[in-house]
Amino acid sequence: MTSHSTVLITGASTGIGAVYADRFARRGHDLVLVARDKARLEALAARLREETGVAVDILAADLTQPDDLAAVEARLREDAKIETLINNAGAALFGSFIDQSTDDVARLITLNITALARLASAIAPRLVQADKGAIVNIGSVVGLAPEFGASVYGATKAFVLFLSQGLSLELAPKGVYVQAVLPAGTRTEIWERAGIDISAMPDLMGVEELVDAALVGFDRRELVTIPPLHDAARWEVLNAARQTLVVGIQQAHVAERYRTTA
């Protein structure tokens, strides 16, 4: 990634996306900021232009809408200056699965999975051709733990992790860096949008602390960055166990415990 390359950030009007925008602008990168709230995007863009001198374009887009999503995809395919995609846009859906409407479930999957995957798909071929660039996907530790009780939301974030791991295996040898960032509870508007009062949640991480940690992982070229995980060995043990499991299931016959007896 060159020093003056452009970074496209989704969900950029507030929270994690807005802090990413600030940090990359201060590193000297031009920006393309994507979110639904045009007024907020314009205000953020104006501030960053004044404070850092970088060029900032905005794309007001609702990534659950096909035409808006297609416009962002086109920008990723056609703008050769964009070398980094921060796939940050997302929503949460908490509560019991049986109490969630089918439309709400579908909308969450459209934003957290379909849009994220389509945007990565739009930029990846061009990055491979250029032999450089980065795709950063914002997941969640909830994707590791169905015990947290957010079944659909957690499943979308498990997809983000799996996709990132798979893309890294495919794209890293071709010069493209892929990072999955897994926050825990973070002080963003996602809670308010999900109808949850964060005043009773003192343990939420600050957004700036989260993004700064994620960028440390970015600079180190980590595949999986989990800012709230204090003992990194726990992830390494989990990942090693997963790899051992995969080796153990490459068999032509069923396990002995599933064989029927006469």
* Residue positions annotated with a catalytic role: 153
Nearest alpha carbon to residue 48 among 76, 67, 20? 20
Beta partners for 32? 8, 57
DSSP 188: S
Total count of residues recorded for the chain: 262
CA distances from 255 to 6, 244, 247 (A): 51, 16, 14
For 177-227, strand residue ranges (E) read: 177-181, 224-225
CA–CA separation, 69 and 114 (whole Å): 10
CA–CA separation, 150 and 167 (whole Å): 25
